[in-house]
Amino acid sequence: MDVTEKLAILADAAKYDAACTSSGVDRSGAGAAMGTARACGICHSFSADGRCISLLKVLLSNDCCFDCAYCVNRRSVTTRRVSFEPRELAGLTWQFYRRNYIEGLFLSSAVWRSPDYTCEQMLKVLRILREEYLFSGYIHIKIIPGADPLLIERLGYLADRVSVNIELPSAASLAKLAPQKRKETLLTPMKQVRRLVAENTEGYGRFGGIQPVGRNTGSRDRAALQGQAAKIALDGGSGVGARNTARPVAVPESVSPTRYGGARRQRSGFAPAGQSTQMIIGASPESDRHILQLTERLYHAYDLKRVFYSAYVPAVESDLLPSADTPPPLWREHRLYQADWLLRFYGFQAEELLPAEEPELHPYLDPKCQWALRHLGFFPLEVNRASYDALLRVPGLGVESALRIVRARKIAALSWDGLRNMGVVLKRARYFLLCQGRRFPHLTRDRGAFLAAMMSARERALFRRQERDLYQPSLFDEMSWERGDAGLLAGSAVPRLTEKQKEALTAVPLPLWE
Amino acid sequence: MGRAPLPPCVPGLCYVYDGTWEGWLCCVLRSYLDREIPERIVPAGGEEASSLFGCREIRTDEAGAARVRKGVEERLGLPFVRTLQRTFCTCLPAKEWRMLLLTRKAFRYGTGILLYEDEETVHQVHRALTRLGSEIDKWWGFVRFSDIQGVLVSVIGPKNCVLPFLAPHFCARYPNEQFLIFDKTHHMALVHRPGETAIVPMEGFRMAAPSPEEQQYRQLWKLYYDTIEIKQRHNETCRRTHMPKRYWEFLTEFMTTPHVAAGLQKYYNKG
């Protein structure tokens, strides 16, 4: 079978993985090596579904011995099973990289024979790339749950980012849909990765610690390594205390890192771009509140860089799953990402965004608007005096706008015109701000106009359609509608409001102060 | 601010310079020596420069440029010079004139004027710089090389003059390759071979026919690109937002060369 055919099958099988970022590490090229990495990440293309293509995202093999209900590669499905030769895949990556098609490699795999065997094969690919080709571009490696900790460690020293997919947001769903995966086998490697990343960034430095990259690490080395690992585990507990105990450990000569040239010298320890994870949204019944709280815990407990959400695309028929004609819950995925951003960059807590009495994200309002409508007492804010943190909570203001405001108001008091000239979008924000004590000129007390301003054109169109379905009098009777709504609606399912959300929308108090 | 305003704009006065950075510095010098601000500054040879009425040709001389450069650097600092140089690489309309205004204001009021983001000129410059920045980001990803007899070659068509900013990125990435990036908008090329890099003027460039091996990699990339889409999530608007159509003609994945399409047909039929 030629490489074209393999690529067609193995890229097709890998495409449901959401993560495709090349961010988090800065590395300049040097010596004989080829390749650099930028902390901001670089997108090389965008596929027809609008997702970024940054890395060559393929499976090493789709020959799986697990039987997860949601997966296209499950053992019980009849499909062609193929695997890349390590050298073949490394060569392909190298050639793509040379032509600037990609930023690096995203290597995942089905569980091929056993987790250990799979990881060994992945390790081969990485070693060829890093040590023979002296490739110093980006590598994201997907850890196979259940693999030997030593293999995980080796993979991590060669990769930039490591990820373990948590797959489903609760242990119960995991047991139901992915019977061979258990919560523990997913969390143990995450813990290990967290510990190693911490060791390599804090006390240990670039050349200390355990870096088992020796060419011929035999059984003796292995024993020594396990000894070291055990010692650290005892010192540092289960990863949580690693911060305090991270001090250099004298490494025996045989285990000390072997350097191979440019590529190795450029790298700084274990998975310099940290770890991430992914979960599937919509295959199991968890609420948004549950997912968001889990996300927050993951960020705190495992120092994750990112949590990715992947809307479930029905690829296989199963009684345990939504039927095959269910459209992927793209709206929900989008809202979760918005909420995720609020957690990471806007200083929100999961509990604030979705309290127990409101467990779902709103289909028509973004999570910040949803929060703002529950906390109207927080507004209006005076643009010239509100703190940066408070500005970030204003619907319609992002990090960039808030920074601009804070910078510009040092020079002179800002006016509404000044805000507009700076490029601050006022469509939403005007309802929540005061400028030099004055509210936005000619702001009417009109509930329909207010709600319409809180939604995008597309959300408004969908909302109107749902209203019509429910035979409710429209909130928007007084509004003029943009033409071309129909085009916006093509192919999208109307998200449903819960009764509570419906009530909240129709009874929304107006944040218009006298 | 309690200081005398800048000299008024002289209606109808137009500086014509040679289009180079040094030429622009000489325009600044002329503006100071004659205590005037022209209404326009245009590069020679452009359409705007053709009407001779009210035009004054500004000759570029090394000494004058060096004098202004030294003055700006010492009084306004290197970061301000960098901002000007970056602005010079943008496609902002009347950028030379806006830069002159910015420089004169900075000399009078200090570089703090760059923080007046609500002021027209400053805002325009900031916006142009942001756009330049995002275009550079885009081209970092969208440059597509073809291996032609061991040399990597690529053609791009940016709005802003991005080559000076692509140079450090690609030289660091492929230090041991020979490559050429041709900018067909500005008729310039970035050429690199190990240890040596230059940006040179180049009228035109035609890529030689690709070798079978090169064709194979193009084919593989197109196949990968088409395969990676999740059909149920198809979203044309989102794709065009991130990757506007003006970039498509430079991207291997949209190449419609017959051999690429024909070679891939059998794989598509399976899916």
pTM: 0.82
Count CA within 13 A, CB hemisphere, residue A163.
Answer: 28
Interchain pair A44, B141: CB under 8 A = yes
Interchain pair B223, A421: CB under 8 A = no
Please, are residues A137 and A35 in contact by the beta-carbon 8 Å criterion?
yes
Same domain, A405 and A289: no
Q: How far apart are the first and last CA of chain A?
A: 74
ipTM for the complex?
0.90
Residue A229 banded pLDDT, cuts 50, 70, 90: very low
The string of pLDDT tens digits covering residues B41-51 is 999 877 665 66
Same domain, A269 and A377: no
Cα(B80)–Cα(B236) distance, integer angstroms: 41
Give the closest-approach CA distance of B23 to chain A in angstroms: 31
Q: Which of B141, B224, B251 sits opposite A42 (nearest CB)?
A: B141
Interchain pair B234, A313: CB under 8 A = no
Question: How far from chain centre, in Å, is Cα A9?
Answer: 25
Cα(B144)–Cα(B153) distance, integer angstroms: 8
Tell me: pLDDT of A268 over 70.
no
- Calculate mean pLDDT across residues A309-317: 85
Mark the ranges of chain B whose per-residue pLDDT is less than 70. Answer: 1-3, 47-53, 257-271
Cα(B1)–Cα(B119) distance, integer angstroms: 14
Q: Which of B233, B239, B267 sits opposite A4 (nearest CB)?
A: B267
Cα(B8)–Cα(B10) distance, integer angstroms: 6
Contact residues on chain A for B117, CB-CB shorter than 8 A: 404, 407-408, 421-423
Same domain, A268 and A390: no
Using the Cα atoms of residue B136, residue B140, residue B143 and residue B145 in order, give the sign of their dihedral.
Answer: positive
Q: Which of B219, B229, B270 sits opposite A49 (nearest CB)?
A: B229
Quick one: pLDDT at residue A27?
81
Residue A236 banded pLDDT, cuts 50, 70, 90: very low
By the CB < 8 Å criterion, does A91 face chain B?
no
Quick one: pLDDT at residue B100?
95
By the CB < 8 Å criterion, does B169 face chain A?
yes
Number of Cβ atoms within 10 Å of the Cβ of B208: 10
Tell me the pLDDT of chain B averaged across its residues.
Answer: 89
Residues near A380 by Cβ (< 8 Å), separated by ≥ 6?
A: A432, A433, A434, A439, A511, A513
Quick one: pLDDT at residue A403?
93
Contact residues on chain B for A34, CB-CB shorter than 8 A: 173-177
Please, are residues A268 and A206 in contact by the beta-carbon 8 Å criterion?
yes
The string of pLDDT tens digits covering residues A238-265 is 333 333 333 333 333 333 333 333 333 3
Interchain pair A313, B174: CB under 8 A = no
Interchain pair B117, A95: CB under 8 A = no
Token pair recorded at residue A366? 């973004």
| Domain coverage including residue A390 | 362-514
Quick one: pLDDT at residue B30?
94
Task: Determine, yes or no, domain membership for A356.
Answer: no
Same domain, A113 and A193: yes
Residue of B nearest to A38 (CA): B169
Residue A457 carries which side chain, given as an amino acid letter? A
Residues near B139 by Cβ (< 8 Å), separated by ≥ 6?
A: B156, B158, B162, B166
Interchain pair B118, A29: CB under 8 A = no
A215 phi/psi in degrees, rounded to 5: -70, -35
Number of CB pairs, chain A paired with chain B, less than 8 A apart: 164
* CA A204-A209-A213 angle, 5° bins: 130
Quick one: pLDDT at residue A464?
76
Cα(B174)–Cα(A382) distance, integer angstroms: 51
Token pair recorded at residue B156? 């791009």
Helices (H), A280-378: 288-302, 330-345, 350-353, 367-374
Same domain, A178 and A271: yes
E runs forming strands in A145-200: 161-163
By the CB < 8 Å criterion, does B234 face chain A?
yes
Within the 178-217 window of chain B, which residues sit less than 8 Å (CB to CB) from chain A?
Answer: 217
Task: Determine, yes or no, domain membership for A326.
Answer: no
By the CB < 8 Å criterion, does B35 face chain A?
no
Same domain, A162 and A284: yes
Cα(B110)–Cα(B108) distance, integer angstroms: 6
Contact residues on chain A for B236, CB-CB shorter than 8 A: 48, 50
**Pairing mode, strands A55-59 and A306-311:** unpaired
Tell me: pLDDT of A204 over 80.
no
Q: Which residue has the higher pLDDT, A207 or A159?
A: A159
The string of pLDDT tens digits covering residues A69-84 is 888 888 888 888 999 9
Residue A231 banded pLDDT, cuts 50, 70, 90: very low
Lowest mean pLDDT among A32-46, A168-182, A466-480, A492-506: A466-480
Residue of A nearest to B219 (CA): A4
Interchain pair B172, A101: CB under 8 A = no
Within the 97-156 window of chain A, which residues sit less than 8 Å (CB to CB) from chain B?
Answer: 98-101, 103
What single DSSP character describes residue A24?
S
- From A11, A93, A97, A25, select the one nearest B141 (Cα to Cα): A97
Coil, strand or helix at A395: coil
Residue of A nearest to B225 (CA): A47
Q: Is A267 left (phi over 0), alpha (psi -120 to 50) or beta?
A: beta
**Pairing mode, strands B40-43 and A161-163:** unpaired
Cα(B99)–Cα(B12) distance, integer angstroms: 19
Quick one: pLDDT at residue A220?
38
- CA max distance for chain B: 76
By the CB < 8 Å criterion, does A230 face chain B?
no
The string of pLDDT tens digits covering residues B16-35 is 999 899 999 999 999 999 99
Give the alpha-carbon dihedral of A291, A292, A298, A299, to 10 degrees: 160
Residue of B nearest to A37 (CA): B173
Interchain pair B118, A12: CB under 8 A = no
Same domain, A279 and A369: no
E runs forming strands in A413-503: 433-434
By the CB < 8 Å criterion, does A330 face chain B?
yes
Task: Determine, yes or no, domain membership for A170.
Answer: yes
Please, are residues A66 and A181 in contact by the beta-carbon 8 Å criterion?
yes
- Calculate mean pLDDT across residues A358-365: 87
Interchain pair A50, B239: CB under 8 A = yes
B152 phi/psi in degrees, rounded to 5: -85, 125
Cα(A458)–Cα(A69) distance, integer angstroms: 34
Token pair recorded at residue A112? 């091929």
Token pair recorded at residue A223? 């024993």
Coil, strand or helix at A294: helix
Q: What is the CATH number of the domain that holds A96?
A: 3.20.20
Tell me: pLDDT of A488 over 60.
no
Domain count of chain A?
2
Contact residues on chain A for B228, CB-CB shorter than 8 A: 11, 15, 47, 51, 53, 57
The string of pLDDT tens digits covering residues A434-445 is 999 998 988 877
Same domain, A51 and A118: yes
By the CB < 8 Å criterion, does A46 face chain B?
yes
The per-type count for chain A, helices as H runs and strands as E runs, is 20, 10
Cα separations in angstroms, A165 against A18, A19, A168, A185, A276: 11, 10, 9, 11, 8
Quick one: pLDDT at residue A37?
86
Cα(A376)–Cα(B28) distance, integer angstroms: 53
Same domain, A373 and A482: yes
Cα separations in angstroms, A240 against A98, A193, A229, A303: 41, 12, 15, 11
Interchain pair A49, B235: CB under 8 A = yes
By the CB < 8 Å criterion, does B251 face chain A?
yes
Which neighbouring-strand residues pair with A277?
A307
Interchain pair A421, B172: CB under 8 A = no
Tell me: pLDDT of A487 over 60.
no
Token pair recorded at residue A335? 């809202």
Rg of chain B on CA atoms, in Å: 23
Best residue in A4, A82, A266 for a mutation probing chain B (most B CBs within 10 Å): A4
**Pairing mode, strands A52-53 and A45-46:** antiparallel
Q: Which residue has the higher pLDDT, A477 or A337?
A: A337
Number of Cβ atoms within 10 Å of the Cβ of B73: 12
The string of pLDDT tens digits covering residues B230-266 is 888 888 988 999 999 999 999 999 887 666 666 666 6
- From A125, A100, A83, select the one nearest A22 (Cα to Cα): A100
Cα(A263)–Cα(A213) distance, integer angstroms: 13
Cα(B93)–Cα(B115) distance, integer angstroms: 21
Cα(A61)–Cα(A195) distance, integer angstroms: 29
Quick one: pLDDT at residue B184?
92
Question: How far from chain centre, in Å, is Cα A316?
Answer: 24
Cα(A162)–Cα(A157) distance, integer angstroms: 10
Interchain pair B142, A32: CB under 8 A = no
Residue A471 carries which side chain, given as an amino acid letter? Y
Helices (H), B89-197: 95-109, 120-142, 163-173
Residue A352 banded pLDDT, cuts 50, 70, 90: very high
Task: Determine, yes or no, domain membership for A133.
Answer: yes
Q: Which of A38, A49, A57 sits opposite B234 (nearest CB)?
A: A49
- From B160, B159, B162, B156, select the one nearest B142 (Cα to Cα): B156
By the CB < 8 Å criterion, does B220 face chain A?
yes
Quick one: pLDDT at residue A391?
95
The string of pLDDT tens digits covering residues A125-144 is 999 999 999 998 999 999 99
Tell me: pLDDT of A212 over 60.
no
